[in-house]
Structure 1
Amino acid sequence: MGLLSNKIDREALKAGDHIYSWREAYIYAHHGIYVGDGMVIHFTRGAGQEIGTGSTVMDRFLFSSSPVHDTDNPCPKCGDQTRDGVISSCLDCFLSGGNLYLFEYDVSPVLFLAKARGGTCTLASSDPAEDVLSRALFLLENGFGGYNIFKNNCEDFAIYCKTGLLVFTSISVGRSGQAASYLAAASAVVSTPLRFLTTSFSGLALVGYGMYCASRLVSDIGVRRDVSKVPVERLVASSGLDQPEKIAEVAKED
């Protein structure tokens, strides 16, 4: 993997890999777990549906991460891909015309911060491939709760499959690095009193970038303290997983 890109060839994929593809001119990435034989298990809303932001503007901006096939023209390999929830797609449908990237685990803090874009790597370690596949297949049959772009999205799903970790606080973002980076960028200068230490544009930019990096780092699943390892059976057995807050409750109870 390079410093600026995590692009990977299809031939190098292994079952249990966490992969992603950028959507909408690199604004948002869709994530999933490669399970072998050219198939990917991922978490999505259906085509043309809301993605759980609560804002129709945001829904249009970060529209559906579902493949391009519709009910009148289903994929010959994976069938109807307009459903929401955890679904199985062929690699072509998952990529939806985009490039293939590999999400990296167990990276160093230096490498993590060098990759300025969130949602590409984490300091957390991955579990063995057999555990990753077991979680993904179980959730394919049983679901992963309600989709929420900030607290329970496709990246959260893939990270849970890889690590088994859930966030047990309900006041912050979930495990998603890209959601954390958006919020960090929005609050980097506006919310910090350090902005008053300088009035120059370069000084504000430096302070803002420093706060952005710090916010990204402390939000990463690999360093957070508000996480708990939750067996997938325990997660699904709990009722009311249609809301992200309920998923947080399950993690805290475990």
Structure 2
Amino acid sequence: MGLLSNRVSEEDLRPGDHVYSWRFAYSYAHHGIFVGDGKVIHFTRGHGQELGTGTFFDSWLTSCRPSPRSSSSCEKCGSEKGSHGVVLSCLDCFLSGCPLYVFVYGESTTVFLAKARGGTCTLAVSDPHEIVLHRAYYLLNNGFGCYHIFRNNCEDFAMYCKTGLLILNEKTLGTSGQTVSTLGAPLAALCSSPINLLMAEPLGMALVTTGMYCLSRYFADLGNRKDVAKVPVEALTARISPAGSSGVLQLEGVLNTNEDE
């Protein structure tokens, strides 16, 4: 287990584990739930589903979709090339030739803050694996809404499967640690600017900015957020709106602090 990622082999996995794979030289990771027998359930995007249509994210995030290497479907799992939504595919299609990592739940505060970036662990605690698998398979059959890079992405899907927690306000950022990490760095630099103006040493400026960045990740983590609620998967999928202007999940006030699955 390193400070950047938690690389594992397939033999180390258990059904219900949250797995991910870095793409584009660690610039982005694709997430899913390992369900055993070499298969992963994950949430993938369709063209034009990030921030509306025609954005540069369409080309940057092509790794979010299963990519059989030579034919229209994978001979091993039958995964269709260009499929989107919640899909079941083999580990090879999920990884697309990239290394395998496992997402850590219930991480200590010290290790969490020491991580170089978000999207690798959380302070939140996972539910038992049988509940995680139930959610993943249920969403495979019923969907998880429309993909949105900032509010409803593959990491949000995997974290919901693991915890059952969703953000109450659908207009805010989702639970994705890598989204918080990506947007938190420039925000930390902006917020620390007034303090940095009072400091002459570059090292001091760097420390202040780094501290602001770590704090932004810490307070935005799913394990610390107060604007989340436990939502039963059956209630969630019954109220997923069709893809609209925002393309995110609409909870419509369906909140539950105790999930009975």
Q: TM-score, normalised by structure 1?
A: 0.92
Partner of 1:61: 60
Unmatched runs of 5 consecutive residues or more in structure 1: none
Moved more, 134-143 or 50-59: 50-59
Change (3 A) 1:61 1:251: farther
Report the equivalent of 2:187. 187
Please list, as runs of the form range in 1=range in 2, the aligned pairs for 1:34-45 lying within 5 A after superposition.
34-45=34-45
Tell whether the 8 Å contact from 1:21 to 1:31 is kept in structure 2 after alignment.
Answer: yes
Q: 1:190 to 1:2 in 2, by over 3 A?
A: closer
Written as runs of structure 1 = structure 2, the 5 A alignment for 1:79-158 is 79=78, 80-158=80-158
Q: Is 2:124–2:223's contact at 8 Å kept on the other side of the alignment?
A: yes
Would you say the 8 A contact 1:44–1:154 is kept in 2? yes
Report the identity percentage: 54
Give the 3 Å change call, closer, same or farther, for CA 158–242 of structure 1 in structure 2.
Answer: same
Match of 1:211, SS state, is helix
Partners of 1:63 and 1:197 lie apart in 2 by: 43
CA distance in 2 between counterparts of 1:10 and 1:106 reads 22
Residue 249 of structure 2 corresponds to: 247
* CA displacement 1:14-59 (0-9 Å, x = unmatched): 000000001111100000000011100000114xx23513462232
Contact 2:146–2:248 (8 Å) recurs in 1: no
Which whole-Å deviations, capped at 9, do the CAs of 1:41-78 have from their partners, x for residues lacking one? 000114xx235134622322233411222794310122
Structure 2 Cα separation of the partners of residues 71 and 238 of structure 1:
38
d(CA) in 1 for partners of 2:225 and 2:120?
17
Query: Is the CA contact (8 Å cut-off) linking 1:150 and 1:179 kept in structure 2?
Result: yes
Q: Which amino acid aligns with 2:16?
A: G
Deviation at 1:207, TM superposition (A): 1.2
Alignment CA distance shift 1:241-1:227 (3 Å): farther
Gaps of 5+ in 2: 257-261
State the match for 1:163 in structure 2.
163
Secondary structure at 1:157's aligned position in 2?
helix
Q: Displacement, 1:84?
A: 1.1
SS in 1 for 2:251: helix
User: How far does the alpha carbon of each residue in 1:135-176 deviate from its partner, in whole angstroms, 9 at most, with x for none?
Assistant: 000000000001011110000000000000000023431100
Query: What is the RMSD computed on CA atoms of the aligned residues?
Result: 2.0
Change in CA separation of 1:225 and 1:252 when aligned onto 2, cut-off 3 Å: farther
Residue identity in the other structure for 1:65: C
Task: Return the TM-score normalized by structure 2.
Answer: 0.89
